[in-house]
Structure 1
Amino acid sequence: MTSQVFSKRKLIVEKLANQIRRGEIGPGQRLDGEHRLAEEFDVSRGTIRQALGELQRRRLISIQSGIGSFVTYDGHALDQRLGWAQALAEVGSKVTTRVLSIEPISGSQVPGLPDDVALDEAIAVRRVRTTPGEGGAEVAVSFECASVPAVGSLRDLPIRGLKDDSLWASLREEGLIATNGQQSVDVHQLDEREASILGRPVGSSFLRTVRTSYDSDGQFVEHVLSLLDPSHFTLKLTFGDES
């Protein structure tokens, strides 16, 4: 009986894994809930839960206690899979992105990089986003430091710049497409350097998000630390009883 359950679980894992790799289950798309999957595969919810746990260990899916989370800008939900610039443009925001620097760094210099990510060399892309304030003056609403692996064409980013002014497009050009990951958020008081970049008083409170992304094979794609003006950006959660 035990071997039968193991065999069913393995078949479920491989079927779902193949659907994800072939793109039949797209990036960011939710799987059916445990109950529906159990009915589809004619197994117990416990077997489904074990199969989903294996897919998570392979970094093909992310299992959360809630249904999901997303960031909004002035009330508009942003699809972070597109990158900030494209996501902001799609909601019609008047936000301008300015690249501060693109430079090679060592993996040990990446702030908050998870211990399980093996990264010797990286490319750090630092950007500020601004929006028109009172009197037309530009006001900074976010600062972002994105670190990506120094592989292939990405090694040349400090020289040639971002493809189409987009880090998302540069990653896709190299074949790195984020499908899953994790993100944390807290409230952060700006230090002197950050305050100078954002044009705010030292100690001003900003939302700080740290996001690490992987592709469908579990390969590291991107690690992003963002400081977001809480008067514009909000983190929202949705929750329910489905996986």
Structure 2
Amino acid sequence: MIKHARFNKRQQAVEELVHRIESGLLADGHLLPGEKQLAEELRVSTGTLREALAELERRKYIAMQTEGSAIVTYDGMTLDQNNGWTQALADTGARIHTELLQLQAVERPQLSLKFGLSQFITLVRRRSHDDGSAISLERSLMPATGGLESLPRTGLIDESLTITLAAYGFVAQNGDQWISAEPLNQEDAFLLGRAPGSVFIKALRTTYDRHGRFMEQVESWLDPQRFRMYQSLGTPK
């Protein structure tokens, strides 16, 4: 009964927000009120409100963004990375070719103690524009546990790492990302078809799932002619 009542409140919140959006009360591109204010207006708990907002995002009525988070653009178009880089780039209409260069089990002694794991799965992918020029190189490191140890044999689901991780119960909850501009070493320059020392954007992201488990560390090298990082600060006026 409690679960049913909570479901009804969530649906009522969803319907009210859809009404506000479709009637123009909440204009496209405008920020929603804060969680506390919105929950009070709709007379629901913040937990129920978050479930309603997640439903609206799934139905493409809104786009959720963590305050102060970085937005990545490709040729000026914002990338929605919730479903992974492959889908995000495809959604822009860009004709991008993704090559799987490596998918195998490896040992990383320097990271074993940090993450409490003896073995990892590494995935290396290169993405190229339709004209043949490489635009990014991505190295992902995942735990060789929870079924992921079979990936070198079974491969990715729908060629998506995000979908594959979710299928094995790894759903991102939190993490951190370091972004810098660094020169390419000889190996990476060769893979990207650039001269050693060429400066690329480097993003190093570590992600943990909703259970607090390490799920991925990914190092991305991005062509600065194609990619840019945007970050909003403070309270929008």
User: With structure 2 as the length reference, what TM-score do the two structures score?
Assistant: 0.69
**Residue range with higher mean Cα deviation, 66-75 or 83-92:** 66-75
Question: Do the aligned partners of 1:81 and 1:178 also contact (CA within 8 Å) in 2?
Answer: no
Give the distance between the partners of 1:123 and 1:31, measured in 2 at CA.
40
| Structure 2: gaps spanning 5 or more residues | 1-12, 14-30, 42-65
Give the match for residue 118 of structure 2: 120
Provide runs of 4+ in structure 1 moved above 6 Å: none
Q: Render the CA deviation track for 1:56-75: whole Å, top value 9, x for unaligned.
A: xxxxxxxx9x6221211111
The answer to whether 1:186 aligns with 2:180 is yes
Give the match for residue 82 of structure 1: 83
1:85 aligned counterpart, secondary structure: helix
Structure showing greater relative contact order (alpha-carbon pairs closer than 8 Å, 6 or more residues apart): 1
Q: Which amino acid aligns with 1:72?
A: T
Give the match for residue 208 of structure 2: 214
Q: Render the CA deviation track for 1:142-164: whole Å, top value 9, x for unaligned.
A: 00001111113211111121111
1:87 aligned counterpart, secondary structure: helix
2:191 aligned counterpart, secondary structure: helix
User: With structure 1 as the length reference, what TM-score do the two structures score?
Assistant: 0.68
The answer to whether 1:232 aligns with 2:226 is yes
Displacement of 1:108 in angstroms is 2.9
Give the match for residue 49 of structure 1: none
Q: Render the CA deviation track for 1:4-24: whole Å, top value 9, x for unaligned.
A: xxxxxxxxxxxxxxxxxxxx9
Give the match for residue 26 of structure 2: none
Q: Which amino acid aligns with 1:168?
A: T
Give the match for residue 159 of structure 2: 165
Question: Do the aligned partners of 1:179 and 1:215 also contact (CA within 8 Å) in 2?
Answer: yes
Give the match for residue 155 of structure 1: 149
Identity over aligned pairs, percent: 38
Displacement of 1:31 in angstroms is 10
Give the distance between the partners of 1:166 and 1:180, measured in 2 at CA.
20
- Aligned Cα RMSD in Å? 3.2
Give the match for residue 97 of structure 2: 96
Q: Which amino acid aligns with 2:75?
A: D
Q: Render the CA deviation track for 1:181-211: whole Å, top value 9, x for unaligned.
A: 1111001101110111000011000000001
| Structure 1: gaps spanning 5 or more residues | 1-23, 25-29, 41-63
Pair 1:200–1:161, CA change in 2 (3 A): same
Q: Which amino acid aligns with 1:92?
A: G
2:225 aligned counterpart, secondary structure: coil
Displacement of 1:213 in angstroms is 1.1
**Residue range with higher mean Cα deviation, 118-127 or 196-205:** 118-127
Counting matched residue pairs gives 188
Q: Render the CA deviation track for 1:72-94: whole Å, top value 9, x for unaligned.
A: 11111112221110111112111
Q: Which amino acid aligns with 2:172?
A: A
Displacement of 1:36 in angstroms is 5.0
